[in-house]
Structure 1
Amino acid sequence: MRTRPTTTAAAALTAAVALMLSGCGSDTDDSGKDKIAGADTGASASATPSASASEDGIERPEIKLPSDVQNVFEGGSTGDAKKDAVLADNERRVNSIDEAIVVDADKHPALEFYSKGDALMSAATYIKSFYDNDRSFTGKTRYYDREVTFAKDGSATVTYCMDATDTYPKNRKTGKVDRSVESSPSDYAFYNTRLEKNSEGVWQTTSVSSTEAAERCM
């Protein structure tokens, strides 16, 4: 089992993520889109999104996704309040990654609010790859077969499928959408994520593994 990072290690990690994402979005003129594990479209915002209290009393950073990008999370309430809380923060984490990809802003506080450790670093690398290639995406991404299990150490595992057959690549600079791209097995992916509840009551994702062209999701 992975132990929590020391204060020094955590500080170094935060600095590394900040460095990777510096310049991503703050100086671009057009926002674009590309396929992501929960994506959205281009919009710009110079101010840092404000935090607001949710129904559980937690001050959460606001996440705004553009109107041309839609994330659909299937499966309603499980009837278990604890599982519902985990699924809600898993959903917010997906949206926070998409926001960082498609919304040009000086900061994306939700990203570090819902991810930490290896999951934060992998998200930062993933996001940066879109900016490096002047790409983004538009369309609808579907998330389904979402399941939660709990470990004896208090952590949670969330597994789910993603269907990106209705999303299309978008050039970040020109805004041009490539709708000629045909669906393929790689548009289906299976995710296995680990989450830990922090002192504020937020279920943060700490690690993620994924399988593209996952037969179980087709």
Structure 2
Amino acid sequence: MNRHAQLVTAALTVSAALLLTACGSEGDDSSSDKIAGADTGATNSASPSVSASADGSDRPEIKLPDDMKMVFEGQQTGDAIKDAVLADNARAVSTVWQAMAYGNLKKSGMGFYYTGAALTGVYDYAKSNIAKNVSWAGTLRYYDRRVTVFDKASAAMTYCVDESKADLKDRKSGKRQGTTTSSDSYVFYNAGMKKDKAGVWQIWDLSEDRGSQKCRP
């Protein structure tokens, strides 16, 4: 998957997200916007999810359109901390796609699950693609998800993403772009995560290895 691979999972890579922002619409003035939910100690303004988390945090609602599906493998390890990291990582990824699917940054929830440079990157990426009416449809599979816990408030997570069954689409017309599967359709990610005062595991750092041998079938 060539063009799809360059756009879709790049939303989860800070460096790629910032690069794509520079290619956005000239009329897109992202510098004047305040990132929703990014204030210290503030919670996101979106409605809380109907699915309560184990820690009781008032998480923003995440609801994706029917044609945008994600499969997260290995959600339960039996270790409470690892399971919490896995769950919040899945929610974090979903907030970026929610923003693009509905063209709404304020209620996306990105500011709840991302922080620092990672938050700036995904926010600017989503804003740029919303301006271009770019979204996606199909299925993304997240697999071989592994968590390393350093202490009660810091962890690292690695995982693979299979993009071969998803297409870019025009958000307004709904027209989908054809998929071409290649080695670049399989991506390896390494995420740095830390637990905030509310008990949410936030992504603060992320790196990508597209076409990684670790993720190819």
The answer to whether TM tops 0.5 is yes
| Structure 1 unmatched runs, 5+ | 1-15, 23-47
**Counterparts of 1:97 and 1:18, CA distance in 2:** 20
TM-score of the aligned structures, taking structure 2 as reference length:
0.74
Instruction: Summarize the Cα distance change of 1:17–1:101 in structure 2 as closer, same or farther, 3 Å threshold.
Output: farther
Tell me which residue corresponds to 2:25. none
2:175 corresponds to 1:161: no
Tell me which residue corresponds to 1:19. 33
2:145 corresponds to 1:131: no
Tell me which residue corresponds to 2:102. 103
- Structure 1 counterpart SS, 2:214: helix
**Counterparts of 2:168 and 2:100, CA distance in 1:** 12
- The alpha carbon displacement at 1:172 in A equals 2.4
Tell me which residue corresponds to 2:119. 120
Tell me which residue corresponds to 2:66. 67
**Counterparts of 2:111 and 2:153, CA distance in 1:** 21
Q: Could you say what the CA RMSD is over the residues aligned between the two structures, in angstroms? A: 2.2
TM-score of the aligned structures, taking structure 1 as reference length:
0.74
Tell me which residue corresponds to 2:177. 178
- Structure 2 counterpart SS, 1:190: strand
Tell me which residue corresponds to 1:217. 215
- The alpha carbon displacement at 1:214 in A equals 1.3
**Counterparts of 1:126 and 1:189, CA distance in 2:** 18
- Structure 1 counterpart SS, 2:33: helix
Equivalent AA in structure 2 for residue 191 of structure 1:
Y
2:65 corresponds to 1:51: no
Tell me which residue corresponds to 2:83. 84
Kept in 2, the 8 Å contact 1:20–1:124? The answer is no
- The alpha carbon displacement at 1:67 in A equals 0.6
| Structure 2 unmatched runs, 5+ | 1-29, 37-44
Kept in 2, the 8 Å contact 1:21–1:128? The answer is no
- Structure 2 counterpart SS, 1:151: strand
Tell me which residue corresponds to 2:10. none
Equivalent AA in structure 1 for residue 48 of structure 2:
A
Equivalent AA in structure 2 for residue 50 of structure 1:
S
Structure 1, 63-72 or 166-175: larger mean CA deviation: 166-175
The structure where strand makes up a greater share of residues is: 1
- The alpha carbon displacement at 1:117 in A equals 0.3
Kept in 2, the 8 Å contact 1:17–1:120? The answer is no
Give deviations 1:9-63, integer Å, cap 9, x for gaps: xxxxxxx7772879xxxxxxxxxxxxxxxxxxxxxxxxx6411443321111100
Kept in 1, the 8 Å contact 2:160–2:189? The answer is yes
- Structure 1 counterpart SS, 2:190: strand
